[in-house]
Structure 1
Amino acid sequence: MNLFISRACIRLALLVAGTLLVWAAGLPAIAVQLNEDRLLQVARAQYGENGVKAVTSWLRMIEATRPLATSEQLRAVNRFWNSSVRSVEDINVWRQTDYWATPLESLGKRAGDCEDYVIGKYFTLLQLGVSPEKLRLIYVRAKVGGQSIAHMVLGYYETPSSTPLVLDSLTSSILPASQRKDLTPVFSFNAQGIYVAGQQRSVESISRWQDLLTRMRTEGIELNSSGTQP
């Protein structure tokens, strides 16, 4: 188990936990499209042949995992990202105190902090066809080494009222949140909105999310919204 957690995650979670609200109505339908030729072109230009190999492994994993049941997809995606990326602070990777890396950037550097693992897993599962409303990026307080620190995990909700399964960079095990007594949720969000009980606000209020999507688009990863779900 890797117990390193980025201080950038801590700062960001504490900053936004008191200000972000809920987006409840008119959820947009979401789809992810990958331009494989563009991804490989950018990977080669920015990270050389090692970058191409990393992205190729990702694309092959996606194709091999696509026919599997959702439970197997969750395990495969969690395992791939946890083994492909080293946990390193943003300041050491990007020379910034907080940076949300695209999946290509995380694979190219083979390094990232807590939110980078979650971003990679989230967009991979969307590309595999997992329903977008079933996935949320969740900020939590995690008990590690006797301390309570901020961390991000990916939650999978089989139904809106289900206890989520937790995909975590700290462990290869995927457990229901009810069995993760070391985690306390703060708030969650996805491409459809921000979720904190009682109020509402669009995900567009998260500037780092919008910047992430813009950079992904130039690399060949397109997140498309088509109308709203009923």
Structure 2
Amino acid sequence: MLTGVGASASVWDLSHLMQRVGELYQPDHRGRVRLAQWQTLMEEHASVDVGQQLDAVNRFFNDRLRFEQDSTIWDQTDYWASPVQSLIAGAADCEDFTIAKYFTLRQLGIDEAQLRLTYVKATERNQAHMVLAYYATPTSAPLILDNLIDPILTASQRDDLVPVYSFNASGLWLGSARFDSRAATTTPLPRWQELTRKMSDEGFFGPLSP
């Protein structure tokens, strides 16, 4: 499991994060503005209900990041960017959108067990895609946060998506046509481990503000 990501609604110390970000990436003005807006988003939504948090986070990243392939942004075939990297670049692919939403909602206090990064087949586009699924209860139909559309719909309303598998910091689940799932493994994905190490270097799991 990940360490340093608590269940409280506290947000991390932006000055600590920005110091590390400056050392690692030297972001331009627009990147710093997006990072500051991200901090404001979390401060303003720390105490609102979950529905408002989901909607605000989904729209925040959909509005501020343009969709690009990894080959265009990072000159790599498949790269998992941290939320900081995506905000600095101002661009993301579907995996990076989902990663950014996941960690932002975790930081806002949503329990890890309620969030899964979910690989799907987007049937209308006939391509692999990733979305974030939110489960209000373990047996409830999830809500789907998607960079392709702003409205957050239930899985039953997204018949254009066929789940393949899902994961979070606790493990991986095999998917089914109804977004139900069964545990497959608790072994972290190598790319997930690389991502969390990178985020730790960025200061993401550093000091939290009161």
Q: Calculate the TM-score normalised by the size of structure 2.
A: 0.86
1:53 aligns with 33
1:113 aligns with 2:87: no
Does the CA contact (< 8 Å) of 1:39 and 1:55 recur in 2? no
1:216 aligns with 199
Identity percentage over the alignment?
42
Change (3 A) 1:150 1:69: same
Pairs within 5 Å for 1:189-228: 189-196=167-174, 197=181, 200-204=184-188, 206-222=189-205
Cα shift readout 1:182-209 (whole Å, capped 9, x = no counterpart)? 00100100011101155631242x1110
Cα shift readout 1:121-178 (whole Å, capped 9, x = no counterpart)? 000000000111000000001123xx42110000000111110000000000000000
Does the CA contact (< 8 Å) of 1:39 and 1:104 recur in 2? no
1:67 aligns with 47
Counterpart Cα distance in 2 of 1:39 and 1:29: 17
Does the CA contact (< 8 Å) of 1:140 and 1:183 recur in 2? yes
Pairs within 5 Å for 1:74-89: 74-89=54-69
2:177 aligns with none
Counterpart Cα distance in 2 of 1:163 and 1:30: 29
Task: Mark the runs of 5 or more structure 1 residues left unpaired by the alignment.
Answer: 1-26, 224-230
1:13 aligns with none
Equivalenced residues, count: 194
1:31 aligns with 5
Counterpart Cα distance in 2 of 1:158 and 1:35: 29
Structure 1 stretches of 4+ with a deviation exceeding 6 A read: 27-30
Q: Calculate the TM-score normalised by the size of structure 1.
A: 0.79
1:182 aligns with 2:160: yes
| CA-atom RMSD in angstroms | 1.9
Q: Larger relative contact order (C-alpha < 8 A, sep ≥ 6)? A: 1
Q: Which amino acid in 2 is paired with 1:31?
A: V
